[in-house]
Structure 1
């Protein structure tokens, strides 16, 4: 069996990418803290061993050839994979991560993982746990940008897989003395649009306007369901609230559940996602296994 031996090096591809990203050899040399001549030599050598022209210098600017565009795109996958491979080795060598970040979609009832968190505290070897409430696109950002270790989400972004762990649903509620409570049920959407809706702020840096629950003409935005509940109870407006927030208040008579024409409640599935995939640390895997109810991974025990 013959073994293929690469003609190019990762460093050559890194230099090639830097020349494009920095807009030329001079800026790339500054960014990489190397001499311009060494960068020229590296790219020339790369083109020589490949037998193709990647760059053409026009004036003071280096421009990609059509072949160069294809090779640049594919080379980014190569350097990214190498970086991930080295990061994985570092993680395994380091073993236990000092902090695990858990991002929870706010529609998710935390009470359902209390037992898992108690078990995790005993197995966490002193790792800190950071829990963040997230909403809508904010939850998806943690998955796509890998800024959390374990995420519970209402929606799986394209290309990501998740373990279904629970269902969620949201009830439409208002105070008993709110005008909507006295209308014949079910209420119609155009009747809702005449009243103030309380919505939970999307926690994303760049929220998507098409995400969210029922847009009314008049909206007040709050950062948490607890604040929304306080305002709804005061009679200010209506809101979609999960049962873990609304049910007790409905039993006390502080809230009235509304029936919406064509929709009794908002339903969906919740998934547990490990955004970092294979790079997920052993401590985060312990937490994920406990939440899912699986035996704790052997590597982590």
Structure 2
């Protein structure tokens, strides 16, 4: 069934209501009054209802007419937004840009980028997600995101452009009142056998999963993100390695203490990655600015001029 309610009819109805007369609406729409009257009469005839109360001197909507107008204005707004999105896509700007942030990083530097981006392209919807370890690469390979920030290690498959941000340093940390702080360092691996290890579970959906923080502890506490791992270790629930730049505040506030193990964990390179051939202007904008940033071991992701 083809609806008799056209965009033109809704625009005419809207103009009459705002201008309070058919003649004024005709002026706004650059039409003769008879054309406006015909549009409304035809709509009323097709719907089988009266939209205007013609016993009044001014153009006043009937209750049904008000219902049609209120719902119709939502359709008009959606039509305008769709037109803007088409124009946006034609100019090369994405309707939606999906950015995945690896759990090893905080979101604050990305929020700053988004704020700057919105000033020049507010119509592009930014969709943020968080993944852990191989989950970041998995999201990119599975087309669940357009850009990964903080992907660890190397790409599991070809077809991606990669820019290194630097290396994350990992430090073995425990709560300040943890019994391990009473032992001499460097600690042998056997020293942590009696304490739970807090590990972060890999969020991969299709790639082989791995976990962060695996040590030779007898029991494990598995958490979903680095943030949860930090909180658990601050509470003394377990021990493990943590990204140094994520725990500087906890160290200064006396909630965590660093200990040295006989076998330290090597740093991990992290990168920005995106699919080759993606020519969206929004993606290009973010990549160019991320290429000017670097990972400070103590402060995290920083602009080059900081």
TM range (shorter): 0.5 to 0.7
Q: What SS class does the counterpart of residue 269 from structure 1 fall into?
A: strand
Matched with 1:170 is 170
Is the alpha carbon distance of 1:123 and 1:239 closer, same or farther for their aligned partners in structure 2, counting shifts above 3 Å? farther
Residue by residue over 1:149-180, the C-alpha shift from the partner in whole angstroms, topping out at 9 and shown as x without a partner, is 11121122242441112321222111122122
Whole-angstrom distance in 2 between the partners of 1:207 and 1:218: 25
Matched with 1:193 is 193
Whole-angstrom distance in 1 between the partners of 2:239 and 2:111: 30
Unaligned segments of structure 1, at least 5 residues: 1-90, 295-301
Of the three residues 153, 156, 165, the one matched with 1:155 is: 153
Q: Does 1:269 align with 2:266?
A: no
Q: What SS class does the counterpart of residue 220 from structure 2 fall into?
A: strand
Matched with 1:12 is none
Q: What SS class does the counterpart of residue 101 from structure 1 fall into?
A: strand
Is the alpha carbon distance of 1:280 and 1:196 closer, same or farther for their aligned partners in structure 2, counting shifts above 3 Å? farther
Matched with 1:252 is 253
Matched with 2:235 is 234
Whole-angstrom distance in 1 between the partners of 2:124 and 2:209: 37
Number of matched pairs: 202
Matched with 2:36 is none
Unaligned segments of structure 2, at least 5 residues: 1-87, 294-306
Matched with 2:130 is 133
Matched with 1:24 is none
Matched with 1:43 is none
Matched with 1:292 is 291
The two structures have a TM-score, normalised by structure 1, of: 0.60
Matched with 1:282 is 281
The two structures have a TM-score, normalised by structure 2, of: 0.59
Residue 121 of structure 1: how far off its partner (Å): 1.8
Do 1:140 and 1:155's aligned partners in 2 also have CA atoms closer than 8 Å?
no
Matched with 1:88 is none
Do 1:119 and 1:290's aligned partners in 2 also have CA atoms closer than 8 Å?
no
Residue by residue over 1:254-276, the C-alpha shift from the partner in whole angstroms, topping out at 9 and shown as x without a partner, is 1111111121x54122211113x
Whole-angstrom distance in 1 between the partners of 2:246 and 2:290: 21
Is the alpha carbon distance of 1:240 and 1:164 closer, same or farther for their aligned partners in structure 2, counting shifts above 3 Å? same
Residue 207 of structure 1: how far off its partner (Å): 5.7
Whole-angstrom distance in 2 between the partners of 1:103 and 1:114: 12
Is the alpha carbon distance of 1:206 and 1:196 closer, same or farther for their aligned partners in structure 2, counting shifts above 3 Å? farther
- Superposed counterparts of 1:54-73, under 5 Å: none
Whole-angstrom distance in 1 between the partners of 2:271 and 2:122: 26
Residue 119 of structure 1: how far off its partner (Å): 1.8
Of the two, which has the highest radius of gyration? 2
